[in-house]
Amino acid sequence: MQTAEESVLSKVKMKVHFNFIQKLGSSCLKYGCVPFRFQSSNRPMAPLGSRILTDPKRVYEHNMWDHMQWSQEEEELARKKAAENSDVRILLEDQATYDQEASKYWNEFYKTHKNNFFRDRNWLILEFPEIIPTRNSVSLNRNEETSWDVKLNATSKPSTLLQSRIVERIRGHFENHSVCALTSFQGCAGRNNKETLAASQRITNGREIVQPEAFPGSDATFRIFEVGCGAGNSVFPILKAIKTNPGVFLYCCDFAPYAVELVKLHLADSASPCYVFLHDVCDDASLYPFPDESLDVILLVFVLSSIHPDRMQGAISRLSKLLKPGGMLLFRDYGRYDLSQLRFKKGHCLSENFYVRGDGTQVYFFTEGETHRIFTSAGLSQVQNLVDRRLKINRKKEVKMPRVWIQSKFQKPFQPAQNKPEDESFRAPAS
């Protein structure tokens, strides 16, 4: 039989626990603390998803339509076009050149186009809010709105003494467990307190963490790494977004020397929290300028498609080791039967769904099943994995251009995953 104090305490603890998690932006689950902001829906956020075509007669009223549904007939037509343009394959001895000299071809690409080919990806933060910590810090100041003080239900009307005893017990309960909850939230309180952060990491990861020697961004409390930065079309929007977030640091790399120099030149006169370096993610012998389990976010935007399919798994498995437990890998790339795949002429196909452009750069077109297999085989857990189909319109010429992308979010578990059989439903289709 519960006493009046225990009954009220139980109800209030539930309410305060919910408010605490909501304010903190994280959720303590049975198998680990999973940040609340990583809980993604099956649909991209705005700007993707903001304009749906409901009346085909209105198709030429806008430049872009989101979440297009393909009919069986359209799917079959796209499959046939892809089969036709891959009918003639490039000879194996010639294929090796494109793979071995991929860096050279991309370097020439950036020398030719510099930073004029791609637009800045200002949509990036909207699609991937995980890039930025949700708050500059999480304050545990009891005088703020996130105060531990409890507003009890008026119907309970406990005595002042009973209320104070309940509040103290709740306060003690959360103060004893707050370290674990805070650690799950990457932009946590104590971001300027290295001892607190180190202690919380030890508790969360279940083992002693040896602080590494100083490295670029070692003092940061939230680290982002963009793989394949190109001319900086993602770098600059990210730097703009994190300028009000002290403690956030951005790394970016590319294997094209000219691209790296373009970004460095742009940042030369600024004191941006950014480190740019030359690196080939397919080269296992090439070391990263930061230790394993030091990154909160890895960004792969239209990068993996330029890597030979035989090298993709190794590159992702290596990148996975760089993530902290709970860290996120954010992915966006070309989807199967995108317009750019269907436009290839015969004689440009290297292997199934893998092509070479006229300038020597390579491109692969993914399915959901393939991305699931690649990232989960690297020990990551799926948070989001979807096909984003859009219809681009040239209103002047009244031309319809179907675009297909894959957008995915994968998280490194807080605990090592147990070996499980592969989910048959996520296997890549034969064609």
**Model confidence at 177: pLDDT above 90:** no
Can you tell me the distance from the alpha carbon of 280 to that of 284, in angstroms, rounded to the nearest whole number? 9
* Residue 201 domain-assigned (yes or no): no
Q: Across residues 84-89, what is the average pLDDT? A: 93
In a domain, 197, yes or no: no
Tens digit of each residue's pLDDT (9 = 90 or more) over 365-400: 999 999 999 999 999 999 999 999 999 898 888 898
* Nearest-angstrom CA–CA distance, 73 and 52: 21
The answer to the question of residue 207 being in a domain is no
The answer on 270 and 285 residing in a single domain is yes
What are 191-225's pLDDT values in tens digits?
Answer: 333 443 343 344 434 444 444 578 999 999 999 99
Residues 338-364: what's their mean pLDDT? Answer: 95
Instruction: Give the integer Cα–Cα distance in Å for 27 and 385.
Output: 21
- Whether residue 267 sits in one domain with residue 160: no
Q: Tell me, yes or no, whether 203 lies in a domain.
A: no
C-alpha torsion sign, points 311, 428, 377, 222? positive
Q: Count CB atoms within 10 A of the CB of residue 142.
A: 10
Is 204 within a domain?
no
Which range (39-48, 66-75, 274-283, 337-346) has the least confidence? 39-48
Kindly report the CATH number assigned to the domain that includes residue 129.
3.40.50.150
- Find out whether the peptide bond into 47 is cis, omega within 30 degrees of 0: yes
Looking at the structure, tell me whether residues 221 and 155 fall in a common domain: no
Q: What is the total count of domains within the chain?
A: 2
Under DSSP, is residue 22 helix (H, G, I), strand (E, B) or coil? helix
> So what's the pLDDT on residue 36?
33
Same structural domain for residues 22 and 51?
A: no
How many helices and strands (H and E) does the chain possess? 12, 13
Alpha-carbon span 152 to 172, nearest angstrom: 17
Are residues 11 and 47 both part of a single domain? Answer: no
Over range 312-330, report the average pLDDT.
97
User: pLDDT above 90 covers what percent of the chain?
Assistant: 46
Q: Does 274 share its domain with 332? A: yes
| Containing structural domain, residue 9 | 4-30+139-184
Q: What does 24-63 look like in DSSP terms, one character per residue? A: HTEEEETTEEEEGGG---SS--TTTTS-B---GGGGGGSS
- Whether 171 and 232 map to the same domain: the answer is no
Contacting residues for 113 by C-beta, under 8 A, at least 6 apart: 231
What's the Cα-to-Cα distance from 34 to each of 21, 31, 197, rounded to whole Å? 11, 9, 17
What's the pLDDT band for 430 if we cut at 50, 70, 90? very low
* 17 backbone dihedrals φ, ψ, rounded to 5°: -60, -45
User: Is residue 196 in some structural domain?
Assistant: no
- Answer yes or no: is 345 within a domain: yes
Q: Is pLDDT above 50 for 93?
A: yes
pLDDT at 160: 45
Strands 354-356 and 349-351: antiparallel
Same domain, 388 and 251: yes
Q: What is the DSSP letter of 335?
A: B
Q: Is the pLDDT of residue 340 over 80?
A: yes
The reply to whether 408 and 272 lie within a common domain is: yes
Task: Say if residue 274 is in the same domain as residue 328.
Answer: yes
Q: Is residue 279 part of a domain?
A: yes
Q: Are strands 354-356 and 362-364 parallel, antiparallel or unpaired?
A: antiparallel
Task: Give, in degrees to the nearest 5, the angle at Cα 386 between 344 and 367.
Answer: 40
* Dist CA 168 CA 109 (whole Å): 64
Q: Quick check: 244 pLDDT over 80?
A: yes
What confidence score (pLDDT) does residue 418 get? 59
Model pLDDT, residue 10: 61
- 377, 314 contact by CB (below 8 A): no
CA nearest to 186, candidates 36, 86, 48, 62:
36
pLDDT over threshold 50, residue 169: no
Please answer whether residues 334 and 340 qualify as being in contact, where contact means their C-beta atoms are separated by less than 8 angstroms: yes
Q: Return d(Cα 279, Cα 288) in angstroms, integer.
A: 8
Q: Tell me, yes or no, whether 407 and 323 share the same domain.
A: yes
Are the C-beta atoms of 105 and 359 separated by less than 8 Å? yes
291 and 421 inside one domain: yes
| Mean pLDDT value across residues 305-329 | 97
